Structure 1
Amino acid sequence: MEYKTNVMRLLEKNKIPYQPHSYADTDAISGIEVANILNQNPEQVFKTLVTRAPSRKYYVFMVPVASELDLKKAASSVKEKSIEMIKAKELLPLTGYIHGGCSPIGMKKQFQTVIDCTAENFETILFSAGKIGYQVEANLENLKGLFPYYFADVITR
């Protein structure tokens, strides 16, 4: 793959091994379509969601593309009474990313990140490389230095 996103550059700069994946030449929109096109298990492909609590704090959640974020569990995992998804138009000014291309790596500001505990079932997970059409696959243990995260059960079962 010739194209490099800022996420890929950050991974390389920090000497973190990753595998790039591209679906840029397809019309895939949903995460499940992306997983299918890349011939990957949808439970191993994660989407990055940004939320806000009444405390005005922002939180990032990474959940499998075929799953839904459980807002009650998510709020509990960050010790808030409630949280809500931010509006798509708020995403770019807040994170530097657009809807569909949001990555936990390289956001304008670092937010507390919670990864659904199902990620622990895999050696690597795939997530957005910061641009629609591009994903990176990496070992989460290797990413600890790039952004702080912890695991919690945050999806609807």
Structure 2
Amino acid sequence: MKKTNAVRELDKHKIKYKLREYKVDENDLGAIHVALETGLDLEIIFKTLSLLNEKKELIIACIPGGDSIDLKKLAKLAKCKKIEMLHLKDLTAYTGYVRGGCSPIGIKKKHTTFIHESALKHKEIILSGGMRGLQIEIDPKALIDYLNITVGNIIV
């Protein structure tokens, strides 16, 4: 298996994790497909969203796979006037990752990361390992501490 930036970063900082592979469907890169392929509860599968604030600064948000981001709640938590989704064409330039394989770990550009508070209800959560078909299982507290993530209610 190819090591991704996310995996290399976790190894370098000696953070415990497990890798989970799944079959990729290029027509369905969503969290529901990951849940079906892995047999895991959608509630613990977190999707990584890339957004920009009014200053065009990168913001990363991790939310449960079945939920939708609330841009107003996120903007308030981030102390921004406005937040919008990053255009897909700009995803790789800003994050180094592709759609369906964007991890909050290993992003090269300066950014702020947020996660929905429900992550703390779980012993482990699942999130992208930095490429399609690869997920990382990790203790949410370890992830939050390592990336200095802000926790809050950021879903609809």
Relative to the length of structure 2, the TM-score reads 0.92
Aligned to 1:12: 11
Shift in Å, 1:124: 1.0
Distance between the aligned counterparts of 1:30 and 1:141, measured in 2?
Answer: 24
More helix per residue: 2
Q: Match of 2:35, SS?
A: helix
Which moves more between the two structures, 10-19 or 141-150?
141-150
Structure 2: unaligned runs, 5 residues or longer? none
CA distance in 1, matches of 2:116, 2:67: 10
**Displaced runs of 4 or more, over 4 A:** none
- Aligned position for 1:116: 116
Aligned residue identity for 1:115: I
Name the SS for the 1:43 alignment partner: helix
Inter-partner Cα distance in structure 2 for 1:29 and 1:105 = 19
Matched, 1:139 2:135: no
Contact 2:31 2:47 in 1 (8 A): yes
Question: Which residue of 2 is the match for residue 70 of structure 1?
Answer: 70
In the TM superposition, residue 3 of structure 1 has moved relative to its aligned partner by 4.2
How far apart, in 2, do the equivalents of 1:114 and 1:145 lie?
12
**Other-structure match for 2:37:** 37
Q: Name the structure 2 match of 1:151.
A: 151
Q: Distance in 2 between matches of 1:57 and 1:116?
A: 20
**C-alpha contact (below 8 Å) 1:110/1:147 kept by paired residues:** no
**Distance in 1 between residues matched to 2:52 and 2:104, nearest whole Å:** 15
Task: Count the aligned residue pairs.
Answer: 154
TM-score, with structure 1 as normaliser: 0.91
Q: State the identity as a percent.
A: 36
* CA–CA separation in structure 2 for the residues paired with 1:86 and 1:136: 23
Q: CA deviation at 1:57?
A: 2.1
- Give 1:70 deviation, angstroms: 0.6
Structure 1 position 29, deviation (Å): 2.4
**Structure 2 Cα separation of the partners of residues 67 and 144 of structure 1:** 20
> Cα offset for 1:37?
1.3
Which residue identity is paired with 2:75?
Answer: A
Shifted more, 28-37 versus 38-47: the winner is: 28-37
Deviation at 1:143, TM superposition (A): 2.6
**Gapped runs of 5+ residues in structure 1?**
none
